[in-house]
Structures are given as structure tokens and as C-alpha cells.
Amino acid sequence: MSITYERVRELFGYRDDGYLIWKVRTSNRVKIGNIAGCNDHCSYCLIGVDGKIYRSHRLIWLWHHGYMPEHGLDHRNRVKGDNRVENLRETSDQCNVRNTGNYKHNKSGVKGISRKINGKWWAQIKVNKQDYKLGYFDNFDEAVLTRLAAEQCLDWNRCDSASPAYRYALRHGLIKQQL
């Protein structure tokens, strides 16, 4: 059985900096007024309640909205430890996966853009495990704008609010900021 809105409100208070605070002593290790939970190896804060482990951002969502999200819950700024309610948004699992940064091996600084041996920039995008090849480009800006157009066609602007292609194009004056 999952935790309820009433139970999470009974056990925790919420601080504006994104932490749940124990209101009730549930074990010898719990002290009233202390921050609930501890971080796992992936930097998510985990909280044990009634024999079950929850990620704190999901409990914070429940505390504020009265229900546990059915699908994904995304950190808008991509910082897993930033559990302020305004940094959380309910998303599909696919949108949650889209809101990721560049891979470590990405040298271009823009997701989906890489340099091929022939000296041209290669643009691609992946949707539902399907790779779409957007083409080769002599100019890096062209590759970025093509990638950004593909993201917008796929409605990624709702999913990836910090798209590297969008940030690059904005920073270099290729587009104007969207309101």
C-alpha cells in the first residue's frame, strides 16, 4: 500500500528550500525537526516510511498536490537534490528522459550534434529509441538550428526546458528568447 496525503502531512513539514522535516518520531533514529532522508548513490534523497522507501521529491509532490504522480516527476533544472516544489514538474517518462544533459563524451556542447571524420557537423535526434538522422552541415550553427527545429517539431520545448541547442542558439543570437 502506498503512502497517502494524510500520512505524509502527519509525518512531515516542508521547508521552502525543498526539504521534508520530521514532525513525528517514527523510530529511534528519527528526531523531530531533523531533515528526513539520506542521499543514495544517484544523489536522490530517499525516505523510509512504514517499511517502504520513497524518493523525497515524490513525497514533496504528494505533500503539496495531494496525489502521487502516475508517471515521471522531473527536476526542471536537472539537479536531483533540488526538491523545491517549484523545481518539480509532472511529466511523461519520455519527457523525463529528454530533460537530460549532454553525455560525457559530447565534445560539441549541444545534445545530438557531433563532428564526423569528413569535417562536417552531424545532427541527429532520438525518439522512442529510433534515431533520426538530420544531416551533415558545414556550419555548426546550421546543425544546432536544425536540431532545435527537430526538438520543437517533436514538442520537446515542453519537455527539455534547458535544451543545449536552445541555450546555444539563444546565447549566440541565432534566435530570440521564447516567452
Phi-psi region of 135 (alpha: psi -120 to 50; beta: other; left: phi over 0): left
Which CATH number characterizes residue 141's domain? 3.30.730.10
Please give the average per-residue pLDDT across 157-164, as a whole number: 68
Assigned C-alpha cell, 20: 521534508
- Residues 76, 131 within the same domain: no
pLDDT at 121 (0 to 100): 95
Q: Which residue has the cell 515524490?
A: 58
pLDDT tens-digit map of 72-126? 898 988 889 999 999 999 988 777 777 777 777 888 989 899 987 789 999 999 8
In this structure, the answer to whether residues 15 and 86 fall within a common structural domain is: yes
Q: Considering only 11-20, 61-70, 76-85, 126-135, which range has the smallest mean pLDDT? A: 126-135
Answer whether residue 176 is part of any domain.
no
Domain assignment present for residue 177? The answer is: no
For 134, the domain range is 100-171
CA atoms within 13 A on the CB side of 118: 8
Residue 8: the pLDDT is 98
Written as one string, the DSSP assignment of 128-158 is TTEEEEEEEESSHHHHHHHHHHHHHHTTGGG
Considering the domain architecture, whether residues 18 and 86 belong to the same structural domain is answered as yes
**What domain count does the chain have?**
2
